[in-house]
Structure 1
């Protein structure tokens, strides 16, 4: 017995294995009875509920920061929390998904703060353009993500208007053109996307600048330089076609073309620069 007791494995079995076996054996015998199991489960449930219902674990307020009043109210309605509510009963992952489901929300962070406050920090998308689509008018941010729908262009007359096929996927380029428009901004009416590859700059008096697919900002700057040097846009023009860098073309109105050629007014024409 002394030699056996000197064996490390034997000592571990006696000190740890035997007590663990006895506990598991008698515990299994005790839990074999269905009434005892139900009583034990009820006791555990009552203890858990008592802990979760303690005042320090109750959420009594939802605080939303970083969102406009309209968006904050929409978030509160989406969360639909029946407060006060135990923090253990709030599915934070589901709540986060509900908040970020809004088009106007770029990112959100939800935390339960001491004092029973569910803190919702929102990074809101900022409208950069108005997009006219087949579905109506939408506000888009600088990356082309939807922010919100609007009912009338006049509601955001301060933002540039874009339209056309694929315009929402080329918002950064559209903003670059707006930034380069400079002296033309007071006359700018919008940008039209064609074939998901190039833009037309639409000005008042139904004038257009037809830009190429490659380097449209450079082409726009060239048109502005020509206008400042020769006053082109003050003339009776329909459009300046800049799609061919070496052959910019002026498209005249019917009256101007008739006067230029001495032809009937019904005819239209082009004059090459």
Structure 2
């Protein structure tokens, strides 16, 4: 008898029965591979996570693959406390890397006293990278018996370890923290005046006095600090005015200079001498 060549062999029948099982398995494998490519591509173009907003189902699937936080790296911190910065990020090692918001972390970091600006970068390798730019100490502000370190904008950034930031200008009085930077910049243009100035004192939250190292006070006119400081610098160069034993130099009037001499101590009276002579 002749064999029917069109009849499928046993091997072909076996493959046909299992074709429906092989194809779904291939589709699942390809699907996970494509998901990995999409995740990696979005991460490359969106390291901060601004566009990486996947649905809850996809996030759950990816977290199952093992995308966890392995490291929280902080760069740029000199004075800010590292534990405080780590707490402000709101993420810890072991958390799902897609389960936190870089934008919210940045906002929390920038609310800290020392942090001027922050960048938060999320990497699918498991690293959360935080870069902070700190506020720079400008002056020590004295007000109502309290001391604090402030930046040029007047923001308080520290209230302890005041001697840890090196020599800083001393500013005194309400409102001094907000306006002292501009006055200090003017004094920097007249170093012969700046080097003799111990403190910038805000008076009535409207004008300034310069308190000198020798105890004298220079009264500056309101809103006319620049010409007054220039005039004071010329007087110092020509007459060494700031090195004299003066109690005050009044520059508030543009057409005159008022000097107040240091009061001479009163001579001791005979009765005082007798009372003091018997003390040991």
Report the TM-score when normalising by structure 1: 0.70
Displacement, 1:247?
A: 1.5
- Distance verdict in 2 for CA 1:66–1:47, change over 3 Å: closer
Residue 178 (str. 1) matches residue 187 (str. 2): yes
Match of 2:233 in 1: 224
TM-score, L = length of structure 2: 0.68
Q: Which moved more, 1:244-253 or 1:68-77?
A: 68-77
Higher share of residues assigned strand: 1
Equivalent positions of 1:40-59 (< 5 A) are 48-55=59-66, 57-59=67-69
Given candidates 154, 158, 175, the residue that maps to 1:166 is 175
1:240 aligns with 2:249: yes
- Sort the Cα spacing of 1:171 and 1:52 in 2 relative to 1 into closer, same or farther, 3 A: farther
> What is the match of residue 141 of structure 2?
131
Contact kept? 1:160, 1:178, Cα under 8 Å:
no
Structure 1's 48 and 196: CA in aligned 2 closer, same or farther, altered over 3 A? closer
Q: Deviations over 1:163-185 (max 9, x none)?
A: 11211121332322331340233
Q: Kindly tell me: are residues 73 and 218 of structure 1, through their superposed partners in 2, closer, same or farther at Cα, counting changes over 3 Å?
A: farther
Deviation, 1:70, is: 4.0
Structure 1 residues not aligned, in runs of 5+: 1-43, 259-263, 266-273
Rounded Cα–Cα distance in structure 2 between residues aligned with 1:238 and 1:53 = 77
C-alpha separation between the residues in 1 aligned to 2:57 and 2:254?
80
Does structure 1 conserve the Cα–Cα contact (< 8 Å) formed by 2:137 and 2:165? no
Q: 1:102 and 1:186 mapped to 2: Cα distance?
A: 34
> How far off its partner does 1:239 sit?
1.0
Paired position in structure 2 for 1:87? 97
Alignment of 1:106-121 (within 5 A): 106-121=116-131
Label 1:59 to 1:237 Cα distance change in 2 as closer, same or farther (>3 A). Answer: same
Shift of 1:227: 1.8
Aligned match of 1:23: none
Measured on the aligned residues, the alpha-carbon RMSD in Å equals: 2.6
Shift of 1:205: 2.0
Range that drifts further, 67-76 or 219-228: 67-76
Matched residue SS, 1:89: coil
Structure 1 runs (4+) greater than 4 angstroms displaced = 44-48
Ranges in structure 2 where 5+ consecutive residues have no aligned partner: 1-54, 268-280
CA–CA separation in structure 2 for the residues paired with 1:214 and 1:69: 35
The Cα of 1:46 is off from its aligned counterpart by 7.8
2:132 to 107, 122, 133: 122
Q: CA deviation at 1:135?
A: 7.2
After TM superposition, give the deviation of residue 110 of structure 1 in Å: 0.9
1:66 to 46, 57, 76: 76
What displacement does 1:151 show? 4.5
| Pairs aligned (count) | 214
